[in-house]
């Protein structure tokens, strides 16, 4: 039977692969196309933010790696689909490296996300465990998967 952390890794992977499935056949023009809605993000920006958030919360806060992150820049990101897909595959691989053999006791250890990420994620100032961080990644990634799905659907109807 998989450990709790490995099960969470599988859920994160499933969400990430659903994002990949939505974006892998889109042209760079569609990925970077502005939405016809005020303050909306491009598909590329949403996907970049999702992977950037996931890398930081899993690899840095749970895995102890050093991850440089510019959250604000994620929402302005533009680029090519193939490079983004490579980044997603690397993230999926890294998630499994960090989580598949993580002892259950490690999930109860405290994590210290920066205040900016706590507030933008709606997590407040309370103490967070590594488990809380992983559940945040699941919740936040699933939310942005929905945004990406809806945006793709909108562009298909135009």
In terms of Cα–Cα distance, which of 50, 59, 115 is closest to 77? 50
**Domain containing residue 33:** 4-157
Q: pTM for the whole thing?
A: 0.93
The pLDDT tens digits along the chain (158 residues) read 889 999 999 999 999 999 999 999 999 999 999 988 888 999 999 999 999 999 999 999 999 999 999 999 999 999 999 999 999 999 999 999 999 999 999 999 999 877 776 666 566 667 889 999 999 999 999 999 999 999 999 888 65
The CATH number linked to 109 is 1.20.120.450
How many domains would you assign to the chain?
A: 1
- Whether the Cβ atoms of residue 48 and residue 32 lie closer than 8 Å to each other: no
Q: Which long-range contacts (CB under 8 A, 24 or more apart) does 127-130 make?
A: 130/61, 130/62, 130/106
């Amino acid at each position: 039977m998989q450990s709790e952390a490995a099960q969470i890794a599988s859920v994160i992977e499933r969400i990430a692969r659903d994002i990949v499935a939505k974006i892998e056949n889109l042209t760079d023009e569609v990925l970077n196309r502005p939405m016809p809605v005020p303050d909306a993000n491009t598909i590329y920006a949403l996907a970049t933010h999702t992977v950037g958030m996931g890398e930081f919360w899993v690899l840095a806060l749970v895995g102890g790696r050093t991850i440089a992150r510019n959250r604000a820049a994620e929402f302005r990101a533009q680029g090519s689909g193939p490079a983004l897909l490579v980044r997603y595959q690397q993230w999926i691989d890294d998630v499994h490296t960090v989580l598949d053999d993580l002892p259950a006791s490690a999930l109860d250890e405290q994590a210290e996300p920066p205040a900016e990420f706590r507030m933008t994620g709606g997590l407040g100032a309370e103490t967070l465990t590594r488990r809380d961080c992983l559940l945040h990644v699941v919740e936040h990634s699933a939310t942005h998967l929905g945004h990406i799905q809806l945006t793709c659907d909108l562009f298909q109807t135009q």
